[in-house]
Structure 1
Amino acid sequence: MKRLELTAADLLGVRFAHSPMAEVVTSTFGLRGTAWPFAAWRERVAADVARAGLGTFWAVLDPPTGVVPDFLTPVPSAPRPRLSEELRRIAATPLARVEAELAAAGVPSADPAGVLDSLVREIERYHRIAVAPVWPRLRSAAEAEIAARAQLTAAHGPRSLLDGLHPRLRWDPDALRLDYLKDGDHPPWSLDGHALALLPSGFAGPHAWVMESGAGRALWYPPAAYGALWAAPFPPPAALAAVLGATRAAVLSLLAAPSSTGDVAAALSLAPATASHHLTALRDAGLVVAARSGRRLLYRRTDLGDRLHDLG
């Protein structure tokens, strides 16, 4: 059990953000584990990640103590930071802090500057392979979660912001309590003058974590629709995206099963006109065909479309 006392002023200062580095860190848990929501994603990216030469990355992100250094997860200063912005903050971490947190994680280094430089480069590489292909769905799920929380707050007041946030979180009249998977009490959690940032993360899965450092306080938790997020069709192979473009490749991948324009738009979070444009282009290229089923026009891949997709 971990307990965070919240005053009325603290509650009014709660804010949301969607952090690329939070997704990077939590995705490594999903890649190393066996949680079912991530099975298709693991199958798609595991081999490429293994070939990517990420020795420093894994030494620090999968340390002997199991505790990832806090300098890798700066609390966002903006609602929608870019990975490049967060990496600049990480690269600017004082070397004394890097050295101390690496030692605490069980990976001491005599060259913290070299480790930091390698980490930044390898995080970029890992993100490109493992996170970027699913980034649109991660951002969409986070945005939907934030919008839903805003509506709750507008309808029922600030305290409703934390109600039902996660099954392991309990909100009582003066504190937020997080039940950890391991038994026993944990040291009290204090905001210490910082605002609390709530960071919905699609890779958090069923878990929630608190992050505290000298730079801020954050709570990572899964958005309400994280199960549907991972049930959606996985993005197409990178080679196919390089030929067709990421969105058009995603449309072709989706059409393993017959789908209407509306189905494609809903599955890929596209405007109907945009989905129609991509379907028309794929049909004109001979990669999909359309046939009526009752009142619906359904598109599916042709043999040529199947072969191109499978080669990707």
Structure 2
Amino acid sequence: MPITFRLTDPASCRWAISPLRETLSAVRLLTQPHRQGYHQPWLRAVAPALAELDLTPLLQVTRYTSYNPDFLFPPPAAPEAGFADELAVVRGAPAARVRAELSRCLRQQHGRRLPPPAQALVDHPIRARNLLADTLAACWDRLIEPWWPRVRDVLAGDIAYRTHLLAEGGLAAVLADLHPRVHWQHPTLVVDIPTTGYRDVEAGLALMPSAFEWPGVGVILDRPSLPTIEYPARGIAALWEPRSDPPAALARLLGATRATLLAALTEPTSTTALARRCAFPNSTVSEHLTVLREAGLVTTHRTGRYLRHTRTPLGTQLASP
């Protein structure tokens, strides 16, 4: 049986970006070789850091195919929370909740008789919570934060695409395109995964794009958490690809720097991420984006705290090989 949500108010669906949840999804990816295809360049880059990190406790409780403790996945408090804010919520989880959720997770894996390392986590919930939070912080610092502008741009680009789809075709068009295992027939949303559950959604449903969730789809169902669907973001196939050189004719027309920037804007992108992608200083990127915008080749809009730059139809036509 699948997971079933009954949406009392479909208009209450909202998108969110969670750096903490991306960190957890990346950790879970490490034990799933069949899900690593798109992320081989990242895995090679973080291999030295992985060799220095002890992920054993975190891997014990974040297996992809079984229940994960909900206190590690706090509901999004804003469209885009900061990692430190999300981690503070994890660190503040009450001992009773930590013990109950760790027990549920580990007994689902091992049965009533837990091996000593697992039993120690259940018996000492505050120590376990702090250990898991410290490990998450190290994973963020070493594995995700250096690449976060690039990852975040893919997630924001997915949201920009789906909000445009929502404006054109309504919620049915968005949910039909979300994931092959997600099915919408008003007022019921079904997520076809190998577990069962039902929840009336009165206060909203969070839709959370992920760079590391492919090819699966994740669900947070249990109260008091906000019901959440985590799905693979569009554009992850090109997430780790090095930039390609712009067409020679475009470089002659615009100059090499502006042509490179225009060619790299394959999706809505921030100034910082575009600078990293193209190996230019932020000030250089900002200066040349101003010229491209004045020429009608780029538009800029604000998403939360960030400015996003997008090619116009004319810019896309010029940048096409």
With the length of structure 1 as denominator, give the TM-score of the two structures: 0.71
1:190 corresponds in structure 2 to: 199
User: Is 1:52–2:66 an aligned residue pair?
Assistant: no
2:281 corresponds in structure 1 to: 278
| Unaligned runs of at least 5 residues, structure 2 | 107-117, 285-321
Q: Work out the CA distance in 2 between the residues paired with 1:271 and 1:32.
A: 34
User: Is 1:164–2:163 an aligned residue pair?
Assistant: no
**Using a 3 Å threshold, how does the CA distance of structure 1 residues 15 and 121 change in structure 2: closer, same or farther?**
same
1:210 corresponds in structure 2 to: 219
Matched position secondary structure for 2:183: strand
Matched position secondary structure for 2:176: coil
Q: Work out the CA distance in 2 between the residues paired with 1:118 and 1:126.
A: 12
Q: Work out the CA distance in 2 between the residues paired with 1:279 and 1:145.
A: 24
Q: State the shift of 1:223 in Å.
A: 1.2
Q: State the shift of 1:187 in Å.
A: 2.4
Q: State the shift of 1:174 in Å.
A: 2.9
In the TM superposition, what are the counterparts of 1:104-143 in structure 2 within 5 Å? 104-106=104-106, 107-108=118-119, 109-143=122-156
Contact 1:60/1:68 (8 A) holds in 2:
yes
Aligned partner of 1:120: which letter?
A: A
Aligned partner of 1:179: which letter?
A: D
Q: Work out the CA distance in 2 between the residues paired with 1:169 and 1:45.
A: 32
Contact 1:17/1:198 (8 A) holds in 2:
yes
2:18 corresponds in structure 1 to: 19
Contact 1:10/1:196 (8 A) holds in 2:
no
Q: Work out the CA distance in 2 between the residues paired with 1:265 and 1:122.
A: 39
2:110 corresponds in structure 1 to: none
**Using a 3 Å threshold, how does the CA distance of structure 1 residues 45 and 173 change in structure 2: closer, same or farther?**
same
In the TM superposition, what are the counterparts of 1:75-154 in structure 2 within 5 Å? 75-106=75-106, 107-108=118-119, 109-154=122-167
Matched position secondary structure for 2:74: coil
Q: State the shift of 1:266 in Å.
A: 4.8
1:201 corresponds in structure 2 to: 210
Q: Over residues 34-69 of structure 1, what are the superposed CA-to-partner deviations in whole Å (9 max), with x where a residue is unaligned?
A: 221112212221331231234433333349x84321
Contact 2:16/2:76 (8 A) holds in 1:
yes
Q: Over residues 195-245 of structure 1, what are the superposed CA-to-partner deviations in whole Å (9 max), with x where a residue is unaligned?
A: 110010111111111112322110000112222224x23xxxxxxxxxxxx
Q: State the shift of 1:277 in Å.
A: 5.4
Aligned partner of 2:192: which letter?
A: D
Given candidates 252, 263, 274, the residue that maps to 2:260 is 263
Q: Work out the CA distance in 2 between the residues paired with 1:210 and 1:280.
A: 41
Contact 2:197/2:221 (8 A) holds in 1:
no
**Using a 3 Å threshold, how does the CA distance of structure 1 residues 130 and 279 change in structure 2: closer, same or farther?**
closer
Q: Work out the CA distance in 2 between the residues paired with 1:190 and 1:167.
A: 21
**Using a 3 Å threshold, how does the CA distance of structure 1 residues 146 and 66 change in structure 2: closer, same or farther?**
same
Q: Work out the CA distance in 2 between the residues paired with 1:277 and 1:47.
A: 26
Q: Work out the CA distance in 1 between the residues paired with 2:26 and 2:50.
A: 12
**Using a 3 Å threshold, how does the CA distance of structure 1 residues 3 and 279 change in structure 2: closer, same or farther?**
closer
Aligned partner of 1:208: which letter?
A: V
Aligned partner of 1:16: which letter?
A: W
Q: State the shift of 1:173 in Å.
A: 3.3
In the TM superposition, what are the counterparts of 1:249-260 in structure 2 within 5 Å? 260=256
Matched position secondary structure for 1:157: helix
Q: Over residues 8-42 of structure 1, what are the superposed CA-to-partner deviations in whole Å (9 max), with x where a residue is unaligned?
A: x4211101100112101211222222221112212
**Using a 3 Å threshold, how does the CA distance of structure 1 residues 179 and 215 change in structure 2: closer, same or farther?**
closer
Aligned length: 253
Matched position secondary structure for 2:221: strand
Q: State the shift of 1:113 in Å.
A: 0.7
**Using a 3 Å threshold, how does the CA distance of structure 1 residues 177 and 280 change in structure 2: closer, same or farther?**
closer
2:293 corresponds in structure 1 to: none
**Using a 3 Å threshold, how does the CA distance of structure 1 residues 219 and 276 change in structure 2: closer, same or farther?**
closer
Q: State the shift of 1:161 in Å.
A: 2.9
**Using a 3 Å threshold, how does the CA distance of structure 1 residues 137 and 276 change in structure 2: closer, same or farther?**
closer
CA RMSD after TM alignment? 3.0
| Unaligned runs of at least 5 residues, structure 1 | 234-250, 282-312
Q: State the shift of 1:177 in Å.
A: 1.9
Matched position secondary structure for 2:200: coil
Q: Work out the CA distance in 2 between the residues paired with 1:271 and 1:71.
A: 34
Matched position secondary structure for 2:136: helix
Q: Work out the CA distance in 1 between the residues paired with 2:96 and 2:282.
A: 54
- Larger displacement relative to structure 2 (221-230 or 18-27): 221-230
